[in-house]
Amino acid sequence: MDVSGRTLLDEVAARRAELIALTQDLIRIPTLNPPGRNYREICDYLAARLSGSGFRVDLIRAEGAPGDSDAHPRWNLVARREGAAPGDCVHFNGHHDVVEVGHGWTRDPFGGELDGDRIYGRGSCDMKGGLAAAIIAAEAFIAACPGHRGAIEISATADEESGGYGGVAYLAERGWFAPDRVQHVIIPEPLHKDRICLGHRGVWWAEIETKGRIAHGSMPFLGDSAIRHMGAVLEEMEATLFPLLAGKRTEMPVIPEGARQSTLNINSIHGGEVEQEDGYTGLPAPCVADRCRIVIDRRFLIEEDLAEVKREVTRMLETVKSRRPSFEYEVRDLFEVQPTMTEKDAPVVRTTAQAIEKVLGQSAGYVVSPGTYDQKHIDRIGKLHNCIAYGPGILDLAHQPDEWVGVQDMQDSAGVMALVLSELLAP
């Protein structure tokens, strides 16, 4: 039996009230990360729902992962529904954690308030609305096509907001995204219902330390100031490194436009005496700083090589060293992620683009994320390259006060995801 696209979109539309209620329920479970609250509660809620829809559910605790403890266990859910005949597995992955509330809200951040077309709340846009849309898409497809081929999987995973090590990375390391069990992955992150996100830029975080010698502040010539050395590093960075990076443009369709080049942020700078607690009323001590550290966040392009990215920094430091006889430094790697970009002709990209055209009557846009998300683990650890981010919600609203997700956007993207299922799994 073939499923007509129209029937399927009707099945999705008929579930609009359910889509709203599901999104509200998910928002009302405050899965704040850090520290990782209520992960078990949200997994239990989803387990009950999905087993009711014919899914076999596994709850997996990422024991020993960063952040995992008995007080805040890292729970993940993977639900799988086998079809009537062999075929591909389409997997929807949503992170269930949300970032802190922050200030400036005029709505209850965990109320799930519906006002007109909008549902408000922390995580509504990033990304409980997307997770709800994927679930409704799957349920609508199953209703229209109970005898489908292959398998549908839905996962709700922990800790995306803090790197995904207690979530997708943990599952990928244990084979949950192995290419012999999952063939297509859609991550319904909030990237607008008409755009397909193909991947992300690379990341290198490092700490650079300059070294000096402590001495009395009244006789600085007896010491060697690590802060002055760092000043020279920062000057060299302004003079040569930032212009070099600005000149490196990418063919990746990164959004926003400003991120379509190499970038570097200095996350922090610390030097000399440690800062005292707020209540400290004494004076600082007069000392020459013997250590100064910065943490850099370098985002690199698919056209760049990580080894070369690191060499650029070393070369810059060597230039400073050649001018300052006592200059000594150390560079420590903190974190790195390779850039990734799925090809436009990959099956999940092509099918999603066709579905967007059918539902929205316009051709799909292609974007690349300036920062990383869980695709990095699926691609790198799971070795599954046929993966995109596609989901409802306006990216800019993520992590903001009064975050919201549009009901019509959710419904439209659920329609797109249901059509993708139909294209890949209908008998």
Residues that bind Zn ion (CB under 5 A): 126-127, 189
Residue 94 beta carbon to Zn ion: minimum distance, rounded to whole angstroms: 8
Residue 260 beta carbon to Zn ion: minimum distance, rounded to whole angstroms: 21
Residue 123 beta carbon to Zn ion: minimum distance, rounded to whole angstroms: 9
Residue 161 beta carbon to Zn ion: minimum distance, rounded to whole angstroms: 7
Angle between helix 5-13 and 407-425 (nearest 10):
140
- Considering the complex, state which of residue 157 and residue 386 has its C-beta at the smaller distance from Zn ion: 157
Residue 125 beta carbon to Zn ion: minimum distance, rounded to whole angstroms: 9
CA 93 to chain centre: 11
Q: From CA 117, how far away is CA 131, in angstroms rounded? A: 18
Residue 97 beta carbon to Zn ion: minimum distance, rounded to whole angstroms: 9
Residue 388 beta carbon to Zn ion: minimum distance, rounded to whole angstroms: 14
Please answer whether residues 306 and 204 qualify as being in contact, where contact means their C-beta atoms are separated by less than 8 angstroms: yes
Residue 264 beta carbon to Zn ion: minimum distance, rounded to whole angstroms: 24
Q: From CA 213, how far away is CA 259, in angstroms rounded? A: 39
Question: DSSP 3-state helix, strand, coil percentages of the chain (rounded to 5)?
Answer: 35, 25, 40
- Considering the complex, state which of residue 81 and residue 200 has its C-beta at the smaller distance from Zn ion: 200
User: What are the φ/ψ torsions at residue 387 (nearest 5 degrees)?
Assistant: -145, 140
Q: In angstroms, what is the C-alpha Rg of the chain?
A: 25
Q: What is the DSSP letter of 379?
A: H
Strands (E), 96-233: 114-115, 118-120, 149-157, 184-187, 195-200, 202-211
Q: What is the DSSP letter of 237?
A: I
Quickly list DSSP for 323-350: H-TT-EEEEEEEEEE--EE--TTSHHHH
- Considering the complex, state which of residue 203 and residue 316 has its C-beta at the smaller distance from Zn ion: 203
- Considering the complex, state which of residue 39 and residue 329 has its C-beta at the smaller distance from Zn ion: 39
Q: What is the DSSP letter of 277?
A: P
Helix (H, G, I), strand (E, B) or coil at 259: helix
Edge-first strand listing for the sheet containing 114-115: 114-115, 118-120, 404-406
Tell me which residue has its CB nearest to Zn ion. 126
- Considering the complex, state which of residue 99 and residue 317 has its C-beta at the smaller distance from Zn ion: 99
Residue for token pair 């760092």: 230
Q: From CA 290, how far away is CA 226, in angstroms rounded? A: 5
Q: Which amino acid is at 386?
A: N
Please answer whether residues 329 and 364 qualify as being in contact, where contact means their C-beta atoms are separated by less than 8 angstroms: no
- Considering the complex, state which of residue 22 and residue 215 has its C-beta at the smaller distance from Zn ion: 22
- Considering the complex, state which of residue 94 and residue 382 has its C-beta at the smaller distance from Zn ion: 94
- Considering the complex, state which of residue 127 and residue 152 has its C-beta at the smaller distance from Zn ion: 127
Residue 126 beta carbon to Zn ion: minimum distance, rounded to whole angstroms: 4
- Considering the complex, state which of residue 119 and residue 127 has its C-beta at the smaller distance from Zn ion: 127
Residue 387 beta carbon to Zn ion: minimum distance, rounded to whole angstroms: 15
- Which two structure tokens, joined as six digits, stand for 381? 């650890």
Helix (H, G, I), strand (E, B) or coil at 390: coil
- Considering the complex, state which of residue 179 and residue 371 has its C-beta at the smaller distance from Zn ion: 371
Please answer whether residues 31 and 39 qualify as being in contact, where contact means their C-beta atoms are separated by less than 8 angstroms: yes
- Considering the complex, state which of residue 15 and residue 195 has its C-beta at the smaller distance from Zn ion: 195
Please answer whether residues 191 and 320 qualify as being in contact, where contact means their C-beta atoms are separated by less than 8 angstroms: no
Residue 371: its H or E element = none
Residue 255 beta carbon to Zn ion: minimum distance, rounded to whole angstroms: 15
